[in-house]
């Protein structure tokens, strides 16, 4: 497993987007490794996507997504790794149907809550707790578009120059991620329209 490592301290994880196929009835896994000297309580959840900005909707009224991540709360000990399981919730429950003609984007979130140090508690000092949250893309791919590849839908991706900007409009049923963009030999700085 290729993990991104943030030094001796911190967390290691696979940096990628996760594709959940309609046929993945047993779910998919995502791992996180704790390289710290202390344990963390990991709060995991699946979040909806803001379709206008392509960012996770963090403060939505806890509406249930069509996926669940198990366990939602886990104590990750120092120098240990754990794999969470993501499963699709039945379409029959709470109107959880997803489009059959295109991919759907969700977000996996891991909030790493540090456990309180009893030495600090005894001193009754004021402390600041930093709680990092890691987000990963979760893309649901229905059976009907399983065979599609980027090359099959390239005509549905429209690239045009608007004023001094290059605008990419993806009308295809697939989510695409561009690692970089070049015009001739010039690499173009990319930004998401807000």
Q: Which domains does the chain show, CATH number per domain?
A: 11-145 (2.60.40.10), 150-187 (no CATH)
Q: What is the pTM of this model?
A: 0.82
Segment 86-129, tens digit of pLDDT? 999 876 655 578 999 999 999 999 999 998 766 655 566 677 77
Cis amide linkage into residue 93, ω under 30° from 0: no
DSSP secondary structure code for residue 49 in this structure? E
State both tokens at 94.
Answer: 């709470």
What tokens appear for 84 in the block? 């969470």
Q: How far is Cα of residue 163 from the mean position of the Cα atoms in its chain?
A: 33
In terms of DSSP bridges, do strands 18-21 and 133-141 run parallel, antiparallel, or are they unpaired? parallel
Confidence band of 1 (pLDDT split at 50, 70, 90): very low
Residue 138, classified by CB atoms within 10 Å of its CB into exposed (0-12), middle (13-18) or buried (19+), is buried
């Amino acid at each position: 497993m290729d993990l991104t490592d943030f030094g001796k301290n911190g967390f290691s994880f696979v940096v990628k987007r996760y594709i959940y196929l309609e046929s993945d009835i047993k779910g998919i896994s995502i791992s996180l490794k704790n390289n710290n000297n202390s344990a963390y309580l990991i709060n995991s959840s699946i979040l909806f996507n803001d379709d206008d900005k392509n960012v996770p909707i963090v403060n939505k009224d806890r509406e249930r997504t069509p996926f669940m991540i198990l366990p939602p709360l886990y104590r990750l000990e120092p120098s240990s790794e754990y794999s969470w399981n993501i499963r699709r919730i039945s379409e029959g429950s709470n109107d959880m149907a997803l489009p059959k003609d295109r991919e759907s984007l969700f977000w996996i979130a891991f909030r790493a809550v540090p456990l309180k140090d009893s030495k600090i508690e005894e001193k009754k000092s004021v402390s600041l707790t930093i709680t990092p949250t890691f987000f990963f893309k979760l893309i649901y791919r229905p059976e009907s578009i399983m065979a599609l590849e980027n090359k099959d839908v390239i005509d549905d991706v429209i690239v045009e120059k608007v004023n001094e900007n290059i605008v990419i409009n993806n009308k295809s049923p697939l989510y695409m991620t561009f690692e970089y963009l070049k015009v001739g030999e010039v690499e173009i700085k990319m930004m998401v329209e807000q």
